[in-house]
Each structure stands twice: as C-alpha cells, then as structure tokens.
Amino acid sequence: MPELLIRNTTTPPITGRVHRGLKRSQREALAAYLFILPDALGLAIFVALPMLFSLSLGFFSVNGFGGFRFVGLANYQRMLIDPLFRQSLWVTFVYVLILVPALYVTGLGLALLVNQRMPFVGLFRSMFFVPNVVSLVVVALTWQVMLVDKVGFVNRLFEFFGLSGYSWLGDPNITLYSILFVTVWFLMGYYMIIFLSGLQEVPREYYDAARIDGAGPWATFTRITLPLLRPTSFFVLLVSLVSAVAGSQAFDLIYIMTRGGPANSTSLVIFYIYQQAFQFNNYGYAAAMASFLVLILLLVTFILFAVTKGGRFHFT
Amino acid sequence: MIEPTAQTHSVRPSRNIFRRLGPILLFCFTAVLAILTVCPLVWMICASLKPGDETFSANLLPQHWTLENFQYVFTASPFWRYMLNSFFIAGTITVVALWFHSMAGFALARLKFPGRELIFLIIFSTFLVSLPVIIVPLFILVRQMGMVNSYAGLIIPAIFNAFGIFLLRQFYIAVPQELQEAAIIDGAGYFRIYWSVMLPLSRPILAALAVFFFLANWNAFIWPLTITNDRSLWVVQIAIASFHQQYSSSWNYIMAGSAIVALPTLLLFFIFQRQLVESIKTSGLK
C-alpha cells in the first residue's frame, strides 16, 4: 500500500476534473494522501503485514529469541497428525455451529420483545445490553464463581428448585455449553441493538397494511419482518460467524475459566494456537495453524456471501 | 390495532381476553428476563461487599456488609498503578485513534484522489481480521521492533482499526457540500476545512466513538497479556486475572477487584448509553 501512495502522488491523477486545473486537483490528492497516511501506514504494519507474515511464518521454525530456520512443510505435516489440533478443530466447529444460531435467535428475539410498546422498555433494553460493557475478564471471573460445584450460586438456585446440580466447569460433556451460555449472555444485547435498529427501519405502513389484510402475527413476521431484515441478518451472521471462528470472545473466557480443559473439551483452535506459541514457544507451528484458520475464515465468509448472494447488498 | 367487531366479540371471547392479558404477560416476561440478565452483575457486586465466608452463602445480599475486600485489593497490590496504566493506555489510544481516523475518514469521504475506492476497499477489508488470528505474527513483529514490555507496544498496535475509519467516513459523506465549498471560497486550505469545519461538526459521533474505543481498550486483555510481563506495565484486566491465579480460593478479593474494574465501564455506559447505542446502530446499517 505505501508504494501505491508514493506512485500516485508523482503521476498526474486521471480524473474527469481536468478543467479545474491540474494544480488544484493535484493539491487535493496530495492533501488526501497525507490525511490517510498515518492510518494507512499503521494498518499496513500492524494488520496487513502480520496477516501476510502469518502465511509465510508457518514454513519456519522460530525460537524464543527470534531466530528463524526454514523447515518447509514440517509444521503443516505436524498439524495433520496432531490429535490435539484435530480435537480443537472439532471443538471450534461445535462452538461455531451452536453460537451463531443462538446469537441470531436471542438477538432477534430480544429485539422483537423490546420493540413492543410497554412501560420501562428503555430500561429493559439497557438491562439486556449491560453485560456487553463489562470486560470479558470480569465476566469470566464472575461466572466462574457462580458456576462453582455444589455451593456456587447457579447450583444453589438449582437446589432451590429441587433440581440436582452439575459440575458446570468440571464435566467435559458440559463445560463447552457453559462457555457458550456465558458468551450468549455477554453478546445477545449487542445483537439486540443491531436487530432493533433494523426493525425500526421497517416502515409502519407495511404492518398497518398487513393488519388490514388480516395477517396474523406469525404471517406478519415471516412475510414482512424477516424479508425486510435481510440486510441486518446478513450483517449479524457475518460478524457473529467471523468472531466465533476467530474466538474474539472465547479466548478471554477460556483462558480464565477453563484453560482449554477439562480433557481439552474447550480447547478452541484459537486457544490451542495461543498455547503452542506463548506457552511452548512453537511460533512456527502456531503460525501454520493460524494460516489454516485464516483459510477457514475466508472460506466461510465466501460461502456466506455466495449463499446469500451478497446478502444485504441484494436490496440496495 | 383494529377494533374487534361485535361479531368477533361474541364468537371468540377467549381471544379478547388474550388480547387484554397479552401485553401484561409480555411485560412480565420481559421484566423477568431483564432481571435475570443483570443478576450475575448484581451478584458480583454483592459478593464484593460480603466477607469471605459468605461468598458461597445462598443469599444474594450480604448479611454483614463490608468494604474490607476493597481495602485489601488496594493494600495487597499496587492497584492504583494498574488503574493508572489502564487509564493512560486506553485514553491515549482513544485520542490518537480519533485523530487519525477522523483525518482518514474525512479524506475518504470528501476529497477526490486517484485510488480512493481501492484504498477504501483495502482499509475496509482489514475489518475482518481479528486480533486472535494474527496475534502470533504481530507479537513477533512487535518484538523485532523492540516494543515488548513498553507503553509503545501496548498502545501503538491498538490504535489502528477499520471500524472507526468506516464510521467517520459514513458521517462525513452526509455533511452538506455547501459547507466545504463556502470554506474553500473563504480561502481555507484542506487542513483548515478538516480542523475548523469537519471536526466541530462531527463532535457527536466523535464522542460516541470515544466511549466505544475507551471501553474496548479498558476491557482489552489478550494483547496486554501477550506483550507485557513487567508488573509495572500491568493493566487492570491482567491484574485481576492474576489475582485469580494468586488467591484462587479468596473469591471475595477477586470479586472486589472485578467490581472496581467494572465500575468505570458501567458508569460510562450509564452516562453515554445513547451515544454508545447510536454507534453500534450505525455500524449495523452500512
């Protein structure tokens, strides 16, 4: 990107506004490049470069002091036979498969609820959103105490209703779902806001017309609300999918609550990569796995775009 | 709602009752759900006010209120230092990011130059790159630059994100062209237009983004965790996470630390919730 900037400032810009005088348009372009430069440079160095770097780093063995040694495909071969990597892929798959629909349903459900006219609706919206402003570290610590075996608040609550408690963070069959529950609790308010703004964009007349035609609430929802929410839905699916695969929320929760355990049942790819890099100093191997993850991310994004025919852009 | 006619009245009285009861049931349902949602946060704050032996008692409210946990957090660790670090780091990132992003957003929205669409597309595509995915190469890069265990390493990589640029660009596109032209006729240069016309106009969205950035960076965990191990550079999130390893059974202290860390974010939310919600809405409505 920097090369691009330099080349463009020296050649006269090809625009249709030549009649205004080259000097002025050149000045405008120069000013624009200077305005963009700090951000462009920063994004190039701290986002684009690591991205490209991650693709090549996988072919090296990197020691803790920054020495590189070319090892060819060794890291990728190791990836194929590493059972822990394979398990982490499976865990990630289950995590994404549950999280994305769960966020869609809870976000849309809450938005429909607080889009109704009722007293204190503003307060309710804030209450649903408030978990999202607290840090994930605090969220993880709080839930960890509440989910403690036997005496934790959640198990006490179960006891109160005559139910038997569970080992929420100790049973390998349950722990991933506990993490998923906490993630949904943390994120649902955010998606509620996004769906709410989508709902408020739908013209009132559509609903009035539907009512006059005698459409029930279900027909109104499936024939008017859902189709008109397509752009919003696409945005929500894209953002939740990318952040689920990349473990944007999961990392903090897992680092504090489970460390990938018990029995690696919550070891998402993103956490396994982090462990390999920063606990075992296997930077090259970690980068190889990360580049595989990037590939998956590109693939799911592409599929989502293809399946929805560009989603939101379909309408505009 | 359509007024029910006499006929539907007599034929389906049950539906009429449902119509009256419906809103009440809906209200109760929403209220219960909202209370359950904030329950964990209320529990956390209550636990921070309970003595240690009450942490796992069945009651929500403390039987003996105490501030001892908070005193302990501040005396047993340099917690003020951690808070100061967090304020400094999140504050600096916020200010610099707003400055850079508003300049870039202004240029992408209001100035004509070759490659504008391409540059915007490239910037926008970095939107999909999230930190956990690039953390290994980013760490190696920043280490080569000699920024491990430094404020620079904590601050500089966190400044750049496409989200802010995108949001500001959307805002500047909507500013009437006349304002810019009037400024040009008055002989203002491009920096002057940016500084004296665009920046003052965008104060509301800058405020919204400021809250957003500050919250995000105050709450950031994975990058500070990766780039620092020097205690004097610790931010609050690292501090409470390490409490967790140090005093794994003294949950009352950990909850007190959590309450202190959560308090500024909750305060910011209550004061600026309108701006915060607006910025989220705008991000969904591209």
Q: Which CATH number covers residue B200? A: 1.10.3720.10
For helices B79-110 and B68-76, what crossing angle results, to 10°?
80
Q: What is the pTM of this model?
A: 0.87
In angstroms, how far is CA B270 from the centroid of its own chain?
Answer: 13
Do B128 and B24 share a structural domain?
no
Nearest to B137 among A4, A53, A201 (CB): A53
Q: Let me know: does A301 contact A235? Beta carbons within 8 Å.
A: no
**Residues in chain A closer than 8 A to B247 (CB atoms):** none
Residues of chain B positioned with their CB less than 8 A from the CB of A156: 56, 58
Amino acid letter, A273? I
CB < 8 Å to B166, chain A: none
On whether the CB atoms of residues A245 and A290 are closer than 8 A, the answer is: no
Q: Write out the residue range of the structural domain in which residue B232 sits.
A: 74-284
Number of domains comprising chain B: 2
Total count of residues recorded for chain A: 316
Task: Tell me how far CA of residue A253 lies from CA of A259, B63, B204, in angstroms.
Answer: 9, 30, 33
Cα separation, A123 vs A125, in Å, equals 5
Higher local confidence (pLDDT), A173 or B244: A173
Percentage of chain A lying above the pLDDT 70 cut? 89
In a domain, B219, yes or no: yes
The verdict on a CB contact (< 8 Å) between B56 and A151 is yes
A70 three-class SS: strand
- Residue B169 domain-assigned (yes or no): yes
Residues B93 and B228 in one domain: yes
Q: Which helix (H) or strand (E) holds B11?
A: helix B6-11
Are B261 and A137 a contacting pair at CB < 8 A?
A: yes
Instruction: Determine the Cα–Cα distance for residues A298 and A304; give it in Å rounded to an integer.
Output: 10
CB B238 within 8 A of CB B225: yes
Of A31, A43, A248, nearest to B190 by CB-CB distance is A31
A interface mutation test: which of B2, B41, B133, B144 has the most A CBs within 10 A?
B133
| Min Cα–Cα distance to chain B from A81, Å | 22
Query: What CA–CA distance (Å, rounded) separates B193 from A157?
Result: 60
A183-198 confidence digits (pLDDT tens): 999 999 999 999 998 8
Q: How distant is the Cα of A103 from the closest Cα of chain B, in angstroms?
A: 15
Q: What are phi and psi of B108, to 5 degrees?
A: -70, -25
Tell me, yes or no, whether B110 and B58 share the same domain.
Answer: no
Mutate to test the interface with B, among A108, A110, A145 (most CBs of B within 10 A): A145
Is A232 close to B284, i.e. CB distance below 8 A? yes
Residues in chain A closer than 8 A to B48 (CB atoms): none
Note whether B169 and B237 are same-domain residues: yes
Pick A135's closest partner by Cβ from B101, B226, B261.
B261
The alpha carbon torsion through A190, A196, A201, A203 (nearest 10 deg) reads 170
Tokens 């190889």 sit at which residue?
A288
Contact residues for A12 (Cβ-Cβ < 8 A; gap 6+):
A22, A26
Interchain contact, A137 vs B240, CB within 8 Å: yes
The CA distances from residue A265 to A36, A91, B14, in Å, are 45, 7, 50
CA of B115: which chain A residue's CA is closest? A8
Task: Measure the CA–CA gap between B146 and B5, rounded to whole angstroms.
Answer: 78
Do B41 and B167 have their domain in common? no
Residues of B in contact with A33 (CB under 8 A): 107, 113
Q: Report how many Cβ contacts below 8 Å link chain A to chain B.
A: 280
Domain boundary at B14, B42, B68, which? Answer: B68
- Chain centroid, CA A93 distance in Å: 14
- Per cent of chain B over pLDDT 70 is 92
Mean pLDDT of B49-75: 86
Residues of B within 8 A of A201 (CB-CB) are: 285
CA distance B89 to chain A (A): 16
Count of positions (residues) in chain B: 286
Q: Are residues B53 and B132 in the same domain?
A: no
Nearest CA-CA partner of A56 in A45, A67, A71, A66: A71
Amino acid in the structure at residue B175: V
**CA nearest to A55 within chain B:** B137
CB A240 within 8 A of CB A263: no
Q: Give tens-digit pLDDT for B116-155.
A: 889 888 888 887 788 888 899 999 999 989 999 999 999 9
Give me the residue from A47, A138, A294 closest to B262, CB to CB. A138
Here the tokens at position B151 are 């404020």
- In whole angstroms, give the CA distance from residue B97 to residue B108: 16
- Nearest-Cα distance to chain A for B170, in Å, is 15
Beta strand A68-70 pairing with A60-62: antiparallel
Reading the block at residue B204, the tokens are: 């509301």
B286 interaction partners in chain A (CB closer than 8 Å): 235, 312
Six token digits for residue A10:
């020296």
Compute the 3-state secondary structure of chain A and give helix, strand, coil in percent, each to the nearest 5: 75, 0, 25
CA–CA gap between residue B108 and residue B95 (Å, rounded): 20
Of A118, A193, A242, the CB nearest to B30: A118
Query: Which among A47, A127, A256 is the nearest to B129, CB-wise?
Result: A47
Say which of A42, A120, A131 has its CB closest to residue B41.
A131
Helix axes B251-284, A175-201, angle to 10 degrees: 30
For residue B41, the distance in angstroms to the closest alpha carbon of chain A comes to 8
Q: For residue B1, tell me if it sits in a domain.
A: no
Nearest CA in chain B to A109: B30
- SS3 of residue B111 by DSSP: coil
Residue B10 falls within a domain, yes or no?
A: yes
Residue B147 lies in a domain: yes
Q: Specify whether the backbone of B220 is left (phi greater than 0), alpha (psi in -120 to 50) or beta.
A: beta
Selected for mutation to probe chain A from B136, B155, B218, B265 (highest A CB count within 10 Å) is B136
Cβ-defined contact of B141 to A49 (cutoff 8 Å) = yes
Q: Which residue of B has its CA nearest to A290?
A: B133
Contact state of B254 with A145 under an 8 Å Cβ cutoff: yes
Q: Is the pLDDT of residue B5 over 80?
A: no
Q: Are A37 and A8 in contact (CB under 8 A)?
A: no
Amino acid identity of residue B3, one-letter, is E
- Nearest alpha carbon to residue B251 among A148, A250, A166: A148
Residue in the structure block whose two tokens are 């348009």: A25
Do B226 and B256 fall within a single domain?
Answer: yes
Query: Is residue B33 located within the same domain as residue B121?
Result: no
Q: How far is CA A88 from CA A79, A94, A271, B88, in A?
A: 11, 10, 9, 37
Domain limit, last residue, from B49, B68, B87: B68
Q: Which residue has the higher pLDDT, B156 or A167?
A: B156
Q: Is the dihedral of CA B205, B208, B211, B216 positive or negative?
A: negative
Closest residue, chain B, to A151 (C-alpha): B56
In DSSP notation, A165-218 reads: P--TTT-TTTHHHHHHHHHHHHHHHHHHHHHHHHHHHS-HHHHHHHHHTT--HH
> Three-state SS for A308?
coil
Rounded to whole angstroms, the Cα distance separating A32 from B108 reads 8
- Please check whether residue B165 lies inside any domain of the structure: yes
Cβ contact B258–A141 (<8 Å): yes
Q: A165: which 2 tokens?
A: 């408690």
Where helices occur in A115-174 by DSSP H, the ranges are: 121-129, 136-146, 153-160
- The answer to whether B158 and B223 have CB atoms below 8 angstroms apart is yes
Q: Are residues B104 and B29 in the same domain?
A: no
CA-nearest of A31, A2, A209, A55 to B108 is A31
CB distance A141–B254 less than 8 Å? yes
pLDDT at B18: 66
Contact B112 A32 (CB under 8 A): yes
Contact in structure between B105 and A43 (CB atoms under 8 Å): no
- Judgement on whether residues B17 and B97 belong to the same structural domain of the protein: no
Q: Is residue B271 located within the same domain as residue B152?
A: yes
Distance CA B262, CA B218 (A): 10
Q: Does B122 share its domain with B172? A: yes
CA distance, residue B234 to nearest chain A CA (Å): 14
Q: How far is CA A22 from CA A17, A96, A279, B114, B119, in A?
A: 8, 53, 58, 13, 22
What is the token pair recorded at B65?
A: 């209120």
Q: Do B132 and A247 touch (CB under 8 A)?
A: yes
* Whole-number Å distance between alpha carbons of B223 and A30: 35
CA–chain centroid gap for A128, Å, is 19
A29 CA to chain B: closest CA distance, Å? 5
Q: How far apart are CA B120 and CA B165, in angstroms?
A: 9
Distance from CA of A173 to the nearest CA of B (A): 24
Boundary-marking domain end, from B20, B51, B68: B68
Where chain A has pLDDT below 50, the residues are: 1-20, 312-316
Is B122 part of a structural domain of the chain?
yes
Whether B1 shows a pLDDT value over 60: the answer reads no
Residue B176 domain-assigned (yes or no): yes
